[in-house]
């Protein structure tokens, strides 16, 4: 058994591929995650995020490639790596025959945590479940069940925590509380891998972001570099009356004009000359009601990258079809 825990990334995945008959859920994924970072794994439904996490956590068997955590191979050294991992899955799963504290204590017992360990009560207090410790889990609200699942994942103090859609279905207040706790965990040295459909969540928490689409890892970059590379300054101009069709056509031909609707014009200020475009609108006798500017959000960037990758995949498929038909 080899242990390179003092060197290299905490999580190292190379060529990870998992296929189910004709479906390749994860396709040749190479990924390194450094100790102490928050890494957001983004992708649409069916992208392969949960399957990849399952390969790392030992829930999915029979994959190709290799995965190691702190230098330990997740297949060969599974008894060690599973102790290093905490996992909060998407689906709520509670044993309705036990109370809240017993559920966390039983989970800890799998990893050698004693039932009287004070960490159990500390976790329940941290997630506002202290006053529910004796309550049967079936009577908890959805948000409380989500908190309880996080307590279960943390009870053995893992070095790598997977949060698979951790705030799905919770209210805004709880989401903010969970975000704060995630940042506190990172400050304590826990490495966190987060999957989410809330792009605001990734923008708020993640140090780096990976975009998984159709089983393939399409982009990995820091949050700041993604926003810098793909972000743009957008100007939205609201008009008091609809533009005539010839004017709309003329405006759409100007570099930097993204869209011309009945009562609005959207400009990419990083490409076009915004002043010249505004002057062209005024010259058309249109009256401008308002001008607003904003920077691209991570959600807009995510959609743009996915659209680019779909176009690339389609072009590759067309080229392959032409070769086979030749």
Q: Domain containing 138: what range?
A: 11-228
Task: Give the pLDDT score at 7.
Answer: 65
Task: Give the pLDDT score at 37.
Answer: 96
**Is the same domain home to 242 and 101?**
no
**Is the same domain home to 200 and 271?**
no
Task: Give the pLDDT score at 326.
Answer: 65
**Is the same domain home to 29 and 157?**
yes
What CATH number is given to the structural domain containing 24? 3.40.50.300
Task: Give the pLDDT score at 244.
Answer: 84
Residue 22: alpha-carbon gap to chain centroid? 26
Instruction: Show the low-confidence residues of the chain (pLDDT under 50).
Output: 1-2, 4-5
Residue 278: inside a domain:
yes
Residue 74: inside a domain:
yes
**Is the same domain home to 126 and 262?**
no
Task: Give the pLDDT score at 170.
Answer: 73
Q: What does the alpha-carbon distance between residue 190 and residue 192 come to, in Å, rounded to a whole number?
A: 6
Task: Give the pLDDT score at 144.
Answer: 87
On whether the pTM is more than 0.85, the answer is no
- Other C-beta atoms closer than 10 Å to the C-beta of 6 total 7
Cα dist from 318 to 216, 255, 306, 311, 314, whole Å: 19, 29, 18, 11, 6
Q: What's the number of CA atoms in the CB half-sphere (13 Å) around residue 269?
A: 15
**Is the same domain home to 212 and 239?**
no
What CATH number is given to the structural domain containing 284? 3.30.70.1560
């Amino acid at each position: 058994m080899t242990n390179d825990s003092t060197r290299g990334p905490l999580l190292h995945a190379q060529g990870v591929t998992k296929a189910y008959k004709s479906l390749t859920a994860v396709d040749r994924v190479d990924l390194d995650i450094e100790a102490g970072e928050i890494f957001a794994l983004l992708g649409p439904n069916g992208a392969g995020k949960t399957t990849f996490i399952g390969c790392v956590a030992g829930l999915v068997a029979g994959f190709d490639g290799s995965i190691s955590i702190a230098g330990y191979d997740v297949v060969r050294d599974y008894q060690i790596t599973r102790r290093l991992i905490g996992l909060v899955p998407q689906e709520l799963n509670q044993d309705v025959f036990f109370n809240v504290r017993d559920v966390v204590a039983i989970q800890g017992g799998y990893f050698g945590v004693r039932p009287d360990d004070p960490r159990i009560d500390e976790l329940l207090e941290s997630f506002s479940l202290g006053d529910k410790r004796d309550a049967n889990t079936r009577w908890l609200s959805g948000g409380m069940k989500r908190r309880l699942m996080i307590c279960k994942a943390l009870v053995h103090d893992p070095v790598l925590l997977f949060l698979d859609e951790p705030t799905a279905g919770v209210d805004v207040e709880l989401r903010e509380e969970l975000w704060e706790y995630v940042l506190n965990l990172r400050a304590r040295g826990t490495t966190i891998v987060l999957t989410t459909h809330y792009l605001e969540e990734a923008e708020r928490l993640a140090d780096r972001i990976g975009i998984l689409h159709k089983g393939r890892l399409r982009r990995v970059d820091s949050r700041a570099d993604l926003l810098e590379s793909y972000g743009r300054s957008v100007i939205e101009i609201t008009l008091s009356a609809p533009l005539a069709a010839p004017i709309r056509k003329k405006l759409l031909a100007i570099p930097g004009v993204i869209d011309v609707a009945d009562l609005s014009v959207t400009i990419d200020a990083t490409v076009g000359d915004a002043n010249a475009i505004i002057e062209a609108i005024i010259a058309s006798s249109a009256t401008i009601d308002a001008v607003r500017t904003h920077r691209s959000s991570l959600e807009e960037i995510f959609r743009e990258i996915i659209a680019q990758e779909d176009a690339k995949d389609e072009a590759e498929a067309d080229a392959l079809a032409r070769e086979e038909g030749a």
